[in-house]
Chain A
Amino acid sequence: GDSVTQMEGPVTLSEEAFLTINCTYTATGYPSLFWYVQYPGEGLQLLLKATKADDKGSNKGFEATYRKETTSFHLEKGSVQVSDSAVYFCALSPPYNFNKFYFGSGTKLNVKP
């Protein structure tokens, strides 16, 4: 079945360091891919998305490219800030069922000043 696998956390970085959070997926057909962010005690917020192969989603300095050949959607940011500390979820939506949404287990990011 469809699934999403994320790198386990926590990831601890110093401010201004480069961030990569790996995400790979298993899916039938061409799913849409998403990254969500969750700050402590809050719901999930959509960070970015990509709907077809080679699309690049970007928002607030974060980027992720839909790689069909490697079934990946890695999240990157060139220079993290303390305010980026949160849990990040990779997710996919399969094309065959609008009501299905598969989430990874989340990766906690801690950014130290």
Chain B
Amino acid sequence: SQTIHQWPATLVQPVGSPLSLECTVEGTSNPNLYWYRQAAGRGLQLLFYSVGIGQISSEVPQNLSASRPQDRQFILSSKKLLLSDSGFYLCAWRENTGELFFGEGSRLTVL
């Protein structure tokens, strides 16, 4: 069966520091992959999605970037974090039948 993992689970970073969140999917090939952000007490905002290696689509202009160096690996990055980047980041992959499956999430606090 397919599984999806994210790490780190929790991260506290100072303003201006870099960021790297990783997501890997197992048990499937060529998945569509997604990064969402969930601000405290709010819904989900789609940040990036990828339909294949090296293919990244950005949904909103921001301080973050994404990369897909391997088929089942999706990375969220920033060169310099802002306070507003704090939130709960969720990686997801899309099943051909339509469901989104989410990872455990990464909680980022920028101080």
Shortest C-beta distance, B92 to chain A (Å), equals: 8
The binding surface of chain B is classed by DSSP as strand
* In contact, B98 and A93 (Cβ under 8 angstroms): yes
C-alpha spacing A51/B96, complex, angstroms = 13
* In contact, B99 and A42 (Cβ under 8 angstroms): no
* In contact, A99 and B51 (Cβ under 8 angstroms): yes
Chain B residues within an 8 Å CB radius of A25: none
Chain B residues within an 8 Å CB radius of A93: 98
Q: Contact partner of B98 among A36, A43, A49, CB < 8 A?
A: A49
- Answer whether residue B100 sits at the interface, using C-beta atoms and an 8 A cutoff: yes
- Answer whether residue B44 sits at the interface, using C-beta atoms and an 8 A cutoff: yes
C-alpha spacing A43/B34, complex, angstroms = 13
Contact residues on A (Cβ < 8 Å of other chain), bracket: 20 to 34
Q: Give residues of chain A (5-53) contacting chain B, Cβ–Cβ below 8 Å.
A: 32, 34, 36, 41-46, 49, 51
* In contact, A44 and B43 (Cβ under 8 angstroms): no
* In contact, B32 and A44 (Cβ under 8 angstroms): no
Q: Residue of A at shortest CB range from B96?
A: A98
C-alpha spacing A42/B102, complex, angstroms = 9
- Answer whether residue B46 sits at the interface, using C-beta atoms and an 8 A cutoff: yes
C-alpha spacing A46/B101, complex, angstroms = 7
Shortest C-beta distance, B39 to chain A (Å), equals: 11
* In contact, B98 and A51 (Cβ under 8 angstroms): yes
C-alpha spacing A99/B35, complex, angstroms = 12
Chain B residues with CB under 8 Å of chain A are: 6, 32, 34, 42-44, 46, 49, 51, 57, 90, 94, 98-105, 107
Chain A residues with CB under 8 Å of chain B are: 32, 34, 36, 41-46, 49, 51, 89, 91, 93, 98-101, 103-106
